[in-house]
Each structure stands twice: as structure tokens, then as C-alpha cells.
Amino acid sequence: MGKIKVDNAIIVVSKRQEEVVPLTFEKDKEFLEIKGESLLERQIKQLLNVGITDITVAVDEDRDELNYLKDEYGIKISHELKYANENNFLNLYYCRHLLSNTYLLSGDNYMVDNIFNEYEERSWIAGSNKEDNSNKIGIEFDEDDRITSLKKKKNADWQMYGPIFLTEADSKIYRRIMEEYYQTKNVKNYNIEDVLIGNIEEFNIYLYKQTKEKVYELDNLDELRDLDEKYKDDSSNEILEYIASVFNIKQSEIKNSQPLEVGMTNSSFTFEVGDNKYICRVPGEGTDELVNRLYEHDVYLAIKELDISDRIIAFDRETGIKLTKFFSDSRSMKLENPLEVAKSIDILKTLHKSGAKVSHEFDIKNKIREYIDLCSEDLYESELFSQIRFKMRELIGIEEAFDDEDVLVHADANKNNYLVDDKGNIILIDWEYAGMGPALLDIGMFCIYGDMPDEEVYKITQYYLGRDPEKEDLLKVYVYMGLGSFLWAIWTEYKSEVGVDYFDYKLRMYNHANSAYDRVKEIQSSGINNWIYSKFSR
């Protein structure tokens, strides 16, 4: 088999806050250091050491922190994305023309030994026989080590770990499939390996066998500690330091930290101390301007005896870091389950009737104005915002005439903030927007996130009130649905300005605001017996 001169290397980097938590809440994974050397820089040095000088780092945005690598090592940076992505497919797509006889790497890989060469013989995928029961990509291969199958599988004997090398012939196939996927699939959440999964029979790729001690993707903090002992008790990480101080333990006693995929405002992860499991909530980017943590702390004190929320272990009023008891085997409530919907509304009833009070308000019109003020003047260039803001001004005028007594409201009672355990118990979490306000605001918020048709809005309101809603009740619910949707749409506008994109969610909120406005106008112009009320009362 002939020798193939390696032409170049592409290192794909995606800005994700996952794995190795909580370190990656403060620093991107590729910049984590092992023995004084970042993961990304180590790979660059290993490539240069075997004569591979044509190196491109493919990222999803212009990142100043990478510039020193250009100056020091002569690498190139590719950042041509026009919108944020979740994974790394698009990072590579925009520099796919560089694929030739190419090393294809991920910025978060760590190779103990240098496995790169100036020449290769064939395409390969690095794989390891790690004892890992996570949902990794399993590799099946024939007696010549040619890969015959790639699929996500738990407990696979061999799993993808580390770099890929593609010959020019396989790069052409890879590029063709990438372009087909870009045209036909929603690739925003794709990774570079998704091109190979399901198409491996088109390639001539072999398994490059590595031992489990040689190649790492650093999936968790415990693995990082094994590679560099400094992370055991002196991580220099504010979050780990806080947890250790709360429990009066060494950082090394904080075990099995795992990212938790809930919430848009914050980042969260689970961890274990001894035999107990906990959740740590960390405020997300731009949150300090949106949320008053002192207010949130006061809310938790006010509802402490109601037994409807997550159980606080510790709450840092300055940083907003919150530690709670883990709600075992929990999941988000299901709107298609009538019993869970009823229990969720019952929690709101309990809250509203409790007499619990705090000293601050959740005044939705003031919140809207506050969030608009946080945004730059570019907000007024937004077509979506411009199309609807005058309609929302009209709804604010209607809302100002309401005279309901204020109660303590959650103000973000969406389905993802209700957790259901394995026994059917439900709690309501994330009270950071809570304050004194009108009770039906919570019903409006609940209906927004449920994408509920008119009939369901009526039924939810009916159940909450314990009677058939009157025209004025429905008017209030739809006003709060409109203003609530508008508020969260502006929230996304601000979040995008600080680097967090929720375009699909933003579009959905603007659409909800517009639909709610239409319902308000219909209700205002109708008599009690017209078609819209008749439809509700069936």
C-alpha cells in the first residue's frame, strides 16, 4: 500500500457548554489545560512536530481568543457562519473545500502520544476499547479492520475516540454527502461524524486502534482529574469552590458531574457528594441584567413552607449559584397528560391562595420596557419587533385598566419548569422571574408555552377559576398571553446581542404575541354569545 502525503489538518471547534462541567461554564473546552497546555494548542504542536503546517481551525464565529494561535503557530482561522449552531457540522461545511488528504480533528481531543504522521497509508478513524456505557458511536469492522458499521450504541466494544484521517478519494465522498445534507436536512445540530454514520459503506475507512489510556475526548471532570491531578482539589473554578465550601469538603469529593439539559436562562448540572445527588444552577450569559438574584432569594424564602418547589440546599445571592436536592428520575410535565396539567394548575392555585408575599413586583409592562432598554438601537431595525410593537402598546393600554389584586406569581410557568418524578409528584422550579402580580398572568404564561388552541385556553382558565370563565376573564388571559410572548421575544433579542441565539424560539414568541392580539380584538368586539365564546363553552 502506497504512502500518502498528508496535505493539511482541520480542527473543528464548537462553542458548547457541556461535558467537563462546571469548568466549561467558565472556559471553552478546547482551552482547558492539562499540565499547562490547552487541548487545542497541544494538537497544533503535535501536528507541527510531524511537519503538518497547513492547519485550519474552523469555528462558528470570530473569536479573538484564537488570534494568538495565528501569530504564534501560523494557523488559519475559518469563521464564516452567519448564525449560531449547536454542534460542529457547519463549522467544517464552510471550509469543506480544504478537504484533501486531511486530518479531521475536534478541538477537545487529547492524545497522550502523538499519533500523527507526515505520511499515511489509508483513511482511518481512531477508536478505543474504553469501558464506557454512554451512548457513544460504536464501531464494527471486518478481519482487515475495515469499518463496516458506525452507530450510536451503549457498551460497544470499540468506540470512536479522537481524530479521523481522510484520503483525497474519501474526502470527495465526504464533501459530496455534506453538500447533500446541507440541502436536504436540518444540519444545525449535526456533528462531523454524522456524515459517516449511515454512509460508511461508501468509504474505504479503517479502524486505527488506540488503547483507552492514549486517546481522550474528556467527557467529564473525573476523566480530566485522572490526566491532571491539579483539578482534584485546586481547580480554580468558582463553582466547585462554592460547592466545596457549602458541604465543607474537598473538591475531589464532588463526583460524577453531568450537564443537565434544562432551561434557557441558566446552565445546570448534577453532581454527587457521598451517596446523595444534587443540582447546581449557574446563571447564563447576560442573565445579570435580566434577573435580580436578591429578589429570587426572597421568593424562595416566601414559598419555603408550601412544598411546591425545588428544595434549596444553598443560594449565593451575589453570584446566583443555587444548589438543590435532586428530584429523582424526574422529567418535564406532559401537556397531553390531563392529570399532570391539572396538578400543574393546582400548584399555581396553591401559590396564589397562600398569602405569600415579597416586596417586589412582576409588572409585565414595566418588564417589557426594561428589556427594550437593555437592547441596542438595532432592536428597532428588527422586522418582527417593528411589525408588532404598536399592537403590544395597545395591549398594555388594556392591561393598565385591569384592577386585580396582586398575589405572588411565578411569571414563567411553562411546561419545562414543572418536574414530575417517578411517583407522579410535581414541583415547579426556576422562580427567578417571580414577584407580586395578577394571578391570571400565570395562566397566560402557562398557555403560551403549551402552544394551546382556543379550546384548551378556555379549559385551563375554567379549571383554574373553578367556574365557566366570563368574557373579562378570557380577555385578561389573552392580554397576558400577548404581552408575555412579546416579553420573551424581546428577551431573545437581548440574549442574541450577548451571543446566545434562540431564533426559532423568538419567531415562535412573536407569532404567539400576534395571535393573542387577534384574539383580544375578537373578544373586545364580540357579544357574550358570539362564535368565539360559543366555541369556548362547548
pLDDT in tens, 350-374: 999 999 999 999 999 999 999 999 9
Residue bearing cell 478541538: 107
Give the confidence band of 134 by pLDDT, cuts at 50, 70, 90.
low
Q: Vertex 120, ends 114 and 124: CA angle to 5°?
A: 80
Rounded distance, CA 154 to CA 487, Å? 42
Give the confidence band of 533 by pLDDT, cuts at 50, 70, 90.
low
Of 516, 386, 384, 358, nearest to 452 by C-alpha is 516
Mean pLDDT to the nearest integer, 159-173: 94
Of 31, 25, 26, 28, nearest to 44 by C-alpha is 31
CB 326 within 8 A of CB 313: no
Other Cβ atoms less than 10 A from the Cβ of 514: the count is: 17
pLDDT in tens, 383-418: 889 889 999 999 999 999 999 999 999 999 999 899
φ, ψ (nearest 5 deg) of residue 191 = -110, 165
Query: In sequence order, which ranges of 422-502 are alpha helices (DSSP H)?
Result: 439-449, 454-465, 471-497
- The reported pLDDT for the residue numbered 80 is 66
Mean pLDDT to the nearest integer, 442-470: 91
- pTM for the model stands at 0.79
- The reported pLDDT for the residue numbered 261 is 67
Mean pLDDT to the nearest integer, 500-508: 83
Q: Name the most confidently modeled range: 10-19, 26-35, 113-122.
A: 113-122
